Amino acid sequence: MQNLMIKTHEVWLEMLMAGFMSNTENKQVLFDFSDILFRHFTWLEHEVIELGESYSYDRDAIAIKVDRLQDILQDIIKKLDVLDLQLLSSPDKELNARIASDIHYMRDVLHHMNDEVVTAFNMARKFPNIDLTQEATDALTLFLFEETYKEYELIMIYNYLKAHSDDAYMNRIFQILIDESFFHLKRFGDMGAKMGILGVPRVIMKELYQVEDIVQFLKEGINEELAAKEECKKLSDAVGKDSPELAKFFDFINHQENYHISLMEDALKYFDGR
């Protein structure tokens, strides 16, 4: 079961990366499939927890650098084939049937998906239709590298905490933060692909998500969100002269961080009152 969960994690992430690579109607289909695979991952994680097994979010490296979309789609199809076989290890036959049905459909769609030339790795560092200065380009490049990993990290941390909690109040907060981080990850990953600098987030150290002191974690999380606001503000200022539209986007992200901070402050008050 643990291996099945790990392999589902890997194919979910690879499907998401394929979505970033696409510049056609394929993109939304691949994003939808990645969302489904993430749900599979969380369901399998629940099964592992119910079986009383310890686990981590360790996974193998994922090679995604391709010249054409079909190259990565064929690799995903092979991994879906393996998952289909490994489902036999799942004791939950209803879950087994649901995941298998999803896999069969996704595999068929991917087989018939139109091919595309992939430019997500060309290192051009040019944002479409926007002429950024070298300083703004460097600032945006660094931001996208760092924040793409950070949002993936937050998804996995909040997911782990939610999976091990039966507190409805906290789980509501964790789910909001997961959803928000998914939005940010998709936007930043898509921007990175457009600039030709797409990369797979590195594996997360277990110490980051196997949280022992939730109060200290929330306090540190608030500080990290405050730091993220500062980075968004700096980036907005850096690109503002070249692209007011891009500056407004990072101001938009900056303002979203305010609600994340508010949620974590509410969570701290909740723990103080217990």
Helices (H) and strands (E) in the chain, counts: 9, 0
Long-range pairs of 168-171 with CB within 8 A, sequence gap ≥ 24: 169/270, 170/267, 170/270
Are 72 and 38 contacting, i.e. CB atoms less than 8 angstroms apart?
A: no
**Domains annotated on the chain, with CATH:** 1-118 (1.20.1260), 120-274 (1.20.1260.10)
pTM of the model: 0.95
Length of the chain: 274
Coil, strand, or helix at residue 186? helix
What is the helix (H) or strand (E) element at residue 260, kind and residue range? Answer: helix 244-272
- One digit per residue, pLDDT tens: the chain, 274 residues? 889 999 999 999 999 999 999 999 999 999 999 999 999 999 999 999 999 998 999 999 999 999 999 999 999 999 999 998 888 777 888 999 999 999 999 999 999 999 999 999 999 999 888 999 999 999 999 999 999 999 999 999 999 999 999 999 999 999 999 999 999 999 999 999 999 999 999 999 999 999 999 999 999 999 999 999 999 999 999 898 889 999 999 999 999 999 999 999 999 999 887 6
The residue among 20, 17, 21, 16 whose CA lies nearest residue 32 is 16
Cβ neighbours of 260 (radius 10 Å): 22
What pLDDT is attached to residue 189?
97
> Over 188-211, what HEC string results?
HHHHHHHCCCCCCCCCCCHHHHCC
What pLDDT is attached to residue 274?
66
How far, in Å, CA of 186 to CA of 69, rounded? Answer: 18
What pLDDT is attached to residue 271?
86
What pLDDT is attached to residue 241?
85
Cβ neighbours of 206 (radius 10 Å): 12
